[in-house]
A and B are shown apart, each in its own frame.
Chain A
Amino acid sequence: MGYEIIGITVLWLFLYGYLIVASVDFGAGFFAYYAKVTKKDHIINQLISRYLSPVWEVTNVFFVFFFVGIVGFFPDSAYYYGTALLVPGSIAIILLAIRGSFYAFENYGSKQSNVYMFLYGATGLLIPASLSTALTMSEGGFIVEENGQVSLQYMELLTSPYSWSVVFLAIVSVLFISASFLTFYAARANDTEALKLVRKYALFWGMPTIVMALTTFIALGQHNERHYENMMDLWWMFGLSVGFFMIAMWLLYIGKHYGLAFISVMLQFFFAFFGYGISHLPYILDPYINIFEHATHESMGIALIIAFIAGLFLLIPSLILLMKLFLFDADYVKGKK
């Protein structure tokens, strides 16, 4: 296996990690606000903040990791995406900045403020929407290079059915992943009232997720046939994804084994995300960036992989410690510590 493949696999894994942990965080923001509006905040907001407070910074790093890594392994992506994404990228940064800092202000600073809560909830939906458009653009046709000038075709992007279905898929997925995690967390905390509420959210957002996934699949067929055909060849991955979705929904429905249900949701997205990613190859940006032709030099590629492995030895034990203290420590989860 070449270092290009290892590189893209590592990056994709990090993006998958971000997809899961950030979805939990984004969705929780929305639910917290929604609960406040419907006057149910006393039921779940304590639970949400107990989980999010120690981990929110870690979430952001997954994302930084991905974009720093992609520039390292595939430097041309800085050139194409960097030039084309100035405006949407800046907007995404501003949303992330508002969310991150307001989270800290809200939680460590003063008393609850409606403005913070609103921004926290709203950015929870807007950020996944804006970040997901980068994936849309990677399909080609939206970023073009003419006479050495790279530009983004805004009209095409805003009028494309594929682009919009990705946005909606991102939003409903975030809510589904987040609700199923919170269900597990509430069950762990033995908080029956909160459990009842978040389980309802999870069951509610399951169906839209699978419907939007299917819609997006069809829209992709119209937009990029090559990719669509490749996805068809990997049908079994998507089949597994649907299978895990059904297991998750069943467990949520019968109200047992919420931990297993959340793992099934993770696996559902794992197979869908990797199926999508593998069939996307060899392009990072269709047709300009090809992982085999535009990877960094071998010496740098190998140095990055070594750094990555060394880094994992440091990070995995630390992450396990973090999870042990805040996720699996029953007393902490129940609010006794």
Chain B
Amino acid sequence: MLEMDPVLMSRLLTALTLGFHIIFATLGVGVPLMICIAEFIGIRKNDPHYLLLARRWARGFVITVAIGVVTGTAIGLQLSLLWPNFMQIAGHVISLPLFMEVFAFFFEAIFLGIYLYTWDRFKNPYVHWALSIPVVIGGALSAFFITTVNAFMNTPEGFFLGEEGVAAINPIEAMFNPATPTKVFHVLASSYLTVAAILAAIAAFHLLRQKRKKTSAEGASVYHKKGLKLTVSIMFVFSLLTALAGDVSAKFLAEHQPEKLAAAEWHFETEENADLILFGWLNADNEPVGVLRFPGLLSFLAHGDFNSEVIGLEEFPEEVTPPLWVHYMFDLMVTIGMFLVGVSLLYLLFIKIKSVNEHNKWMLWLLVLSGPLAMLAIEFGWIYAEEGRQPWILRGVMTVEEAATSSPHVGLMFLLFLALYAVLGTICIIVLRKLFRNNPAEEELEKKYPTIETGDK
């Protein structure tokens, strides 16, 4: 393994770091918004339950931010260490958003530090709440800037590549390349969706456990029920927005990166009224079998018209088409996305229908599942985004192979980082469990807000 091809090892190490980092990056974008909303409702309604939600989320958030910061630093440096030739071009053309991303993060970090250490320090509670807004904005801006760089890798524009290297650089055009709007929309919406789903899963999990133990901790139960209602409502809104973002992304791909869409859909021949196929496998003749088939739906997805023509993979030389297994990544991502819409809608319907208890066991289990599934969908979507661009690192300009380092030691570094992330991931979970188990919500409620009324209200 240590002697393996530096290109392959560079890809694996980048995949490892990013695959680990995006979990924490997603939380970093989404959690501040949830904290901000919960604290606002808490102040507005003068309801300690919501304030405690904000406090406890913030407390757990610090731990995940720490890992987000260090893995973010790692990927920032690894870009140069593993892809020096890519960063040489990228430095010329796309360094502006990279640079601004650091500013956005700086801004977020400063206000996060202030926010965390100034609970109860201001007379007017809205002052403390207002400090969360720069954190939300900083997180969203970080995501925006870094996504423009990824968009640039898919549709590089704003420069001219000649014999002498890059020239005629327009940093703004590079940043606002055709892939930017749909990608940013998709990343932001799905981050908020995922975080809402994870926080909902935590609340649902606690409610299930209380059911099993039949404890009479009324106060805590109300606390978790309020948390659940809030997060699932947010989840519903962002699941719809994510579906919309997915739809515009497909239309973008059909127009600007047809090979990426075609590979995901196993769409080999250019045709009108193209079918959408889900799952299945490819037989010896490379024909999809065992699939779920939706007539004409791919045409509709690609162009908003069932009879429109969708470009197939046959129009591209084989050496510049992505691997066909991205089909599964795409399908899994979409399926989970639909599942999240369904689950959150069902819960909200149960609330409206008085005769059904929205906190029944099955509903809670579905919600517990939603959290991890949503994070998996982020991973699948990201793998699809990256693999779907292969063999390019900069589509049409530079391949992944040309970009990688020539250093023979990448294999060893891979093992080191694998060990590092394993340790960080494990300790993160242990610390989070300790943090909340040693200080359960019911105890904290009584300690902090001794006057609180228990029972449903």
A residues at B contact (CB < 8 Å): 53-55, 57-58, 60-61, 63-65, 67-69, 71-83, 85-87, 89-94, 96-98, 100-105, 108-110, 149-150, 296-297, 299-300, 303-304, 307-308, 311, 314-315, 318-319, 321-322, 325-326, 337
Q: Are A55 and B113 in contact (CB under 8 A)?
A: yes
* B276 CB within 8 Å of chain A: no
Q: Are B98 and A72 in contact (CB under 8 A)?
A: yes
Q: Are B121 and A300 in contact (CB under 8 A)?
A: no
On whether A57 and B112 interact (CB within 8 A), knowing A75-B87, A109-B63, A314-B103, the answer reads yes
In the complex, chain B residues whose CB is within 8 Å of the CB of A311: 100, 103, 106
A72 to B405, CA, bound (A): 19
Q: Are A82 and B80 in contact (CB under 8 A)?
A: yes
Q: Are A296 and B431 in contact (CB under 8 A)?
A: no
Choose among B80, B114, B166 the residue that contacts A54 (Cβ–Cβ < 8 A): B114
Q: Are A71 and B71 in contact (CB under 8 A)?
A: no
Choose among B77, B95, B96 the residue that contacts A89 (Cβ–Cβ < 8 A): B77
* B406 CB within 8 Å of chain A: yes
In the complex, chain A residues whose CB is within 8 Å of the CB of B42: none
User: Would you give the shortest CB distance from A221 to chain B, in whole angstroms?
Assistant: 31
Interface size on B, residues (CB 8 A): 74
Pick the most buried of A69, A86, A89, A110: most chain B CB atoms within 10 A of its CB.
Answer: A86
A64 to B146, CA, bound (A): 14
On whether A304 and B117 interact (CB within 8 A), knowing A75-B91, A104-B66, A299-B170, the answer reads no
- Stretch among B302-310, B342-350, B407-415 lining the A interface: B407-415
A57 to B66, CA, bound (A): 8
User: Would you give the shortest CB distance from A183 to chain B, in whole angstroms?
Assistant: 23
Q: Are B96 and A94 in contact (CB under 8 A)?
A: no
Q: Are B113 and A57 in contact (CB under 8 A)?
A: yes
Choose among B103, B107, B431 the residue that contacts A105 (Cβ–Cβ < 8 A): B431
Q: Are B102 and A64 in contact (CB under 8 A)?
A: yes
Residue of B nearest to A61 (CB): B106
Mark each residue of chain B from 99 to 137: 1 if its CB lies under 8 Å from any CB of chain A, else 0. Answer: 111110111011111101110010000000000001000
On whether A307 and B63 interact (CB within 8 A), knowing A57-B109, A61-B106, A79-B88, the answer reads no
Q: Are A60 and B69 in contact (CB under 8 A)?
A: yes
On whether A69 and B99 interact (CB within 8 A), knowing A64-B73, A322-B114, the answer reads yes
On whether A75 and B92 interact (CB within 8 A), knowing A54-B116, A318-B110, the answer reads yes
* B222 CB within 8 Å of chain A: no
Q: Are A71 and B107 in contact (CB under 8 A)?
A: no
In the complex, chain A residues whose CB is within 8 Å of the CB of B90: 71, 75, 78
A92 to B74, CA, bound (A): 9
On whether A322 and B66 interact (CB within 8 A), knowing A85-B81, A109-B435, A110-B434, the answer reads no
A325 to B434, CA, bound (A): 30
In the complex, chain A residues whose CB is within 8 Å of the CB of B66: 57, 100-101, 103-105
- Stretch among B191-199, B209-217, B251-259, B416-424 lining the A interface: B416-424
Mark each residue of chain B from 291 to 312: 1 if its CB lies under 8 Å from any CB of chain A, else 0. Answer: 0000000000000000000000
Known pairs A58-B110, A71-B87, A149-B406 / 15 extra A-B pairs, C-beta < 8 Å: A58-B109, A60-B73, A64-B102, A68-B99, A78-B79, A78-B90, A79-B85, A80-B84, A82-B83, A86-B405, A87-B409, A109-B63, A109-B431, A296-B92, A326-B117
Q: 19 A-B residue contacts at CB 8 Å? A: A53-B113, A53-B117, A57-B65, A57-B66, A58-B110, A60-B73, A61-B109, A72-B96, A78-B79, A79-B84, A87-B407, A97-B70, A149-B406, A296-B92, A300-B92, A307-B96, A311-B100, A318-B107, A325-B118
On whether A97 and B73 interact (CB within 8 A), knowing A58-B113, A71-B87, A105-B427, the answer reads yes
In the complex, chain B residues whose CB is within 8 Å of the CB of A149: 406
Mark each residue of chain B from 43 to 86: 1 if its CB lies under 8 Å from any CB of chain A, else 0. Answer: 00000000000000001001101110111111011111111110
A interface majority secondary structure:
helix
In the complex, chain A residues whose CB is within 8 Å of the CB of B63: 104-105, 108-109
Residue of A nearest to B421 (CB): A97
On whether A68 and B87 interact (CB within 8 A), knowing A94-B417, A304-B95, the answer reads no
A257 to B89, CA, bound (A): 51
Q: Are A321 and B431 in contact (CB under 8 A)?
A: no
A102 to B118, CA, bound (A): 23
On whether A308 and B99 interact (CB within 8 A), knowing A57-B109, A149-B406, A296-B91, the answer reads yes
The A/B interface has a contact count, at CB < 8 Å, of: 220
Q: Are A81 and B121 in contact (CB under 8 A)?
A: no
* B172 CB within 8 Å of chain A: yes
A319 to B113, CA, bound (A): 11
* B181 CB within 8 Å of chain A: no
A92 to B416, CA, bound (A): 12
On whether A300 and B434 interact (CB within 8 A), knowing A75-B88, A82-B87, A104-B66, the answer reads no
* B341 CB within 8 Å of chain A: no
A33 to B103, CA, bound (A): 33
User: Would you give the shortest CB distance from A302 to chain B, in whole angstroms?
Assistant: 9
* B171 CB within 8 Å of chain A: yes
Mark each residue of chain B from 317 to 356: 1 if its CB lies under 8 Å from any CB of chain A, else 0. Answer: 0000000000000000000000000000000000000000
On whether A57 and B73 interact (CB within 8 A), knowing A75-B91, A303-B172, the answer reads no
User: Would you give the shortest CB distance from B32 to chain A, in whole angstroms?
Assistant: 14
A328 to B405, CA, bound (A): 47
* B169 CB within 8 Å of chain A: yes
On whether A58 and B405 interact (CB within 8 A), knowing A63-B73, A322-B113, the answer reads no
A58 to B435, CA, bound (A): 24
* B93 CB within 8 Å of chain A: yes
Q: Are B95 and A68 in contact (CB under 8 A)?
A: yes
Residue of A nearest to B166 (CB): A297
In the complex, chain A residues whose CB is within 8 Å of the CB of B99: 68-69, 72, 304, 307-308
8 Å CB interface, B387-434 against A:
405-407, 409-410, 412-413, 416-417, 420, 424, 427-428, 431-432, 434
Q: Are B81 and A86 in contact (CB under 8 A)?
A: yes
User: Would you give the shortest CB distance from B4 to chain A, in whole angstroms?
Assistant: 15
On whether A54 and B113 interact (CB within 8 A), knowing A71-B95, A75-B91, A86-B413, the answer reads yes
* B2 CB within 8 Å of chain A: no
Choose among A61, A81, A86, A308 the residue that contacts B410 (Cβ–Cβ < 8 A): A86
* B167 CB within 8 Å of chain A: yes
Q: Are A321 and B69 in contact (CB under 8 A)?
A: no
In the complex, chain A residues whose CB is within 8 Å of the CB of B79: 78
On whether A83 and B407 interact (CB within 8 A), knowing A71-B91, A72-B98, the answer reads yes
A314 to B70, CA, bound (A): 23
Residue of A nearest to B10 (CB): A86
Q: Are B405 and A83 in contact (CB under 8 A)?
A: yes
A65 to B104, CA, bound (A): 11
Q: Are B420 and A97 in contact (CB under 8 A)?
A: yes
Choose among A81, A303, A307 the residue that contacts B80 (Cβ–Cβ < 8 A): A81
A78 to B78, CA, bound (A): 10
